[in-house]
Amino acid sequence: MCRVVRSVLAALVVLLVLGMTAWGGELPPPQTEGGMGLFEAFRKRASAPGGDFPTGKLEPEELSTILWAASGLNRGEKGWTVPMARGLAPYCKVYVAEDAGVFLYEWRSHDLKEISKENIRARVGAQSFVKAAPCILIIVAGGEGLTEFEEPDRTEFANVAAGAITQDVYLAAAALGVGTRYIHSMKVEEIRNVLGLTDGDRPICLMMLGK
Ligand SMILES: Cc1cc2nc3c(=O)[nH]c(=O)nc-3n(C[C@H](O)[C@H](O)[C@H](O)COP(=O)(O)O)c2cc1C
């Protein structure tokens, strides 16, 4: 085999390995300083058009920063970027669906836990354009702590948390120049099955992400 072909094959193997590990394990540290100012991010916050959604993949650093903004620790071991009733740990979970599979964002260790190797991007949105997003966040009520509340608080508190999470995603995405869109129209049963959700879990919304 000539040297050029060997070099190309070696480069392909490196790219494949990088591509496989970038999303499935540890996230790089999130950006927590610098960048666009908050007020400029407020000015830029907007939904990217559903029908012409940007299809470029996010860098691992960008996904890491958006997940941290969504519900990461920001003050030691008990303080998060989003407010939770009674100061409980986040009782909404953030799943990530992309080509390599489905992952759960673990805020304690700031990394991704693999849930499935399936690409479910085409199966979660009720609108056909949703699958165009290379990365889709699935926000689910049902993290630890939620069972402490009776209805209607249980539902209302989870919805408030999802609102805070999704607005943080909008602002972080604006600051990073990443496109995003809140999606309520979901295939709830499909999501339940593929994520292996329990009866107490409730999918609330999707956030499309792409550049
Ligand atoms: C509760 C809620 C539900 C939404 N559901 C959908 C949806 O199912 N499909 C969709 O394309 N956009 C959905 N959106 C996005 C809105 O259409 C979008 O935020 C709105 O047009 C305002 O645009 P802006 O976010 O750029 O200000 C939803 C937004 C919210 C807040």
pLDDT digits (tens, 9 = 90+) for 17-32: 444 444 556 799 999 9
Instruction: List Cα–Cα distances, 133 to 123, 175, 180, in angstroms.
Output: 12, 19, 9
Q: State how far the Cα of 12 lies from the Cα of 191, in Å rounded to an integer.
A: 34
Those residues with Cβ within 8 angstroms of residue 19's Cβ, 6 or more apart along the chain or in another chain: 100
Count of domains for the chain: 1
Any ligand 1 atom below 6 A from CB of 126: no
> Which structure tokens are listed for 60?
């691992």
CATH code: domain of residue 166: 3.40.109.10
Separation between Cα atoms, residue 34 and residue 24, nearest integer Å: 27
> Is ligand 1 within 6 A of the CB of residue 14?
no
CA-nearest residue for atom 16, ligand 1, is: 182
Q: If you average pLDDT over residues 189-208, what whole number do you get?
A: 95
Q: Are 101 and 116 in contact (CB under 8 A)?
A: yes
Mean pLDDT for the stretch of residues 52-71: 98
Give the atom of ligand 1 at the shortest distance from the alpha carbon of 181: 15
Provide the pLDDT for residue 84: 96
Predicted confidence at residue 4, as pLDDT, reads 55
159: its two tokens: 């919805």
If phi > 0 it is left, if psi is from -120 to 50 it is alpha, else beta; for residue 192 that is: alpha
CB 206 within 8 A of CB 131: no
pLDDT attached to residue 80: 98
Q: Which residue has the tokens 């009866």?
A: 199
Split at pLDDT 50, 70, 90, the class of 143 is: confident
Edge to edge, the sheet with strand 202-210 lists 111-116, 101-106, 92-98, 135-141, 202-210, 179-183
User: Atom 29, ligand 1: which residue's CA is nearest?
Assistant: 182
100-139 tens-digit pLDDT: 999 999 999 999 999 999 999 999 999 999 999 999 999 9
Which secondary structure element, helix H or strand E, spans residue 106, and what is its range? Answer: strand 101-106
* pLDDT of the residue at 180: 98
The secondary structure element, H or E, covering residue 202 is: strand 202-210
DSSP 5: H
Ligand 1 near 15 CB (within 6 A): no
Boundaries of domain holding 174: 3-210
